[in-house]
A and B are shown apart, each in its own frame.
Chain A
Amino acid sequence: MGLSIAAAVGLYGISFGALAVTAGLSVAQACALSLLMFTGGSQFAFIGVVSGGGSLPAAFAASSLLGVRNAVYGVQISALLRPRRRLRPVIAHFTIDESTATALAQDDRAEQRRGFWTAGLGVYALWNLFTLVGALAGEHLGDPKAWGLDGAAVAAFLGLLWPRLRARDPIVIAVAAAFATIVTVPFVPPGIPIVIAAAVSGTIAVLHHRRPDVREAR
């Protein structure tokens, strides 16, 4: 699973590079985002606000808020893999949707560790390579949408979500999160609906956790 995620998301990097350049970033700035920020959702939020005419502080806010989930992933990975203290500044950089989802999908710790690093390093290598390719090709590619690259992003996120929807609780949370997102999109700046959906999801999870019957069923 790790390698296929790396290949798929790496390929998606080409559209990020192209979209970043069409949004007004230089090739070096597009590459800096992929090398140093390395969290796709936040990177897309940043260039999305810039290309939509938003201010740079707004782009900063949208990308930073979208990155809040990575702190949650850090908590999960920290509990799962128990990384040594010295390794934490390194493992933190590779803590993203794909590496976390891959690690959580495995059963024993060796497989979880292998899945995390395969997905994390694989995505990093391909994401950066294809960001560069996409950025250089930016002006010549025409419209990335004509290639269906935004559709590939939709499928990539759905593929990460799908395995989590086997139990009743996550399905309830997913429906509530989708509803919260759709309802708030027209009224708040880009990126904020995702944070609101996170707050709603966390609240529902706490309420369900307090119900003893649910806890025993696990």
Chain B
Amino acid sequence: MIELWWWVLAACAAAYLTKLAGYLLPEEWLDRPWVRTVSVGMTAGLLTSLVVTNTLVDGTALVLDARVAALAAAAVALWLRAPYLVVVLVGGLAAALARLAGAA
């Protein structure tokens, strides 16, 4: 239990120092256009990867389960210009309904 605490706190410290590193870079780095281009591009890529990971990944396996229904329902909601909160609720509802219907 003590060991788990140490790793929890170490991971928290690493996360905070990583966040802080973004602000400690020399200011002149920030004004370069390619830095902006790369970070905007990386953000789109990271969010896409998080969508894919949350939808299809279970550990190191790719699985098709109720989360796919959530993705489809959320995409329809976004396409219909639903507010963010509605999109999230629709995603949760779709996954819950898919499981009621027998999906994994």
Contact = CB atoms under 8 A, between A and B. Distances in A.
Contact of B19 (A56, A70, A152): A70
Contacts of A95: 19, 22-23
Contacts of A156: 87-88, 91
B24 interface: yes
A4 B42 contact: no
A36 B12 contact: yes
B78 A158 contact: yes
Given A79-B36, A185-B61, A197-B48, A59 B7 contact: yes
Nearest to A201: B45
Which bracket fits the contact residues of B? 35 or more
A7 B85 CA distance: 7
Contacts of A145: 66, 95, 99
A35 to B, nearest CB: 8
B11 A29 contact: no
A26 B57 CA distance: 26
Contact of A161 (B36, B41, B44, B62): B44
B78 A162 contact: yes
A110 interface: no
A153 B67 CA distance: 9
Contacts of A52: 59
B45 A198 contact: yes
A149 interface: yes
B66 A148 contact: yes
Contacts of A215: 33
Contacts of B71: 154-155, 158
A170 B74 CA distance: 20
Contacts of A159: 74, 78, 84, 87-88
Contacts of A123: none
A16 interface: no
B20 A89 contact: yes
Interface of B: 1, 3-5, 7-16, 18-25, 27, 29-31, 33-57, 59-62, 66-67, 69-71, 73-75, 77-78, 83-85, 87-99
15 contacts: A4-B85, A8-B87, A37-B15, A63-B15, A70-B22, A73-B22, A76-B39, A76-B40, A78-B25, A151-B66, A162-B78, A164-B43, A178-B49, A190-B60, A197-B45
Given A75-B29, A205-B38, 11 more contacts: A32-B12, A48-B59, A73-B43, A78-B22, A92-B20, A152-B89, A154-B54, A155-B89, A178-B52, A194-B50, A201-B46
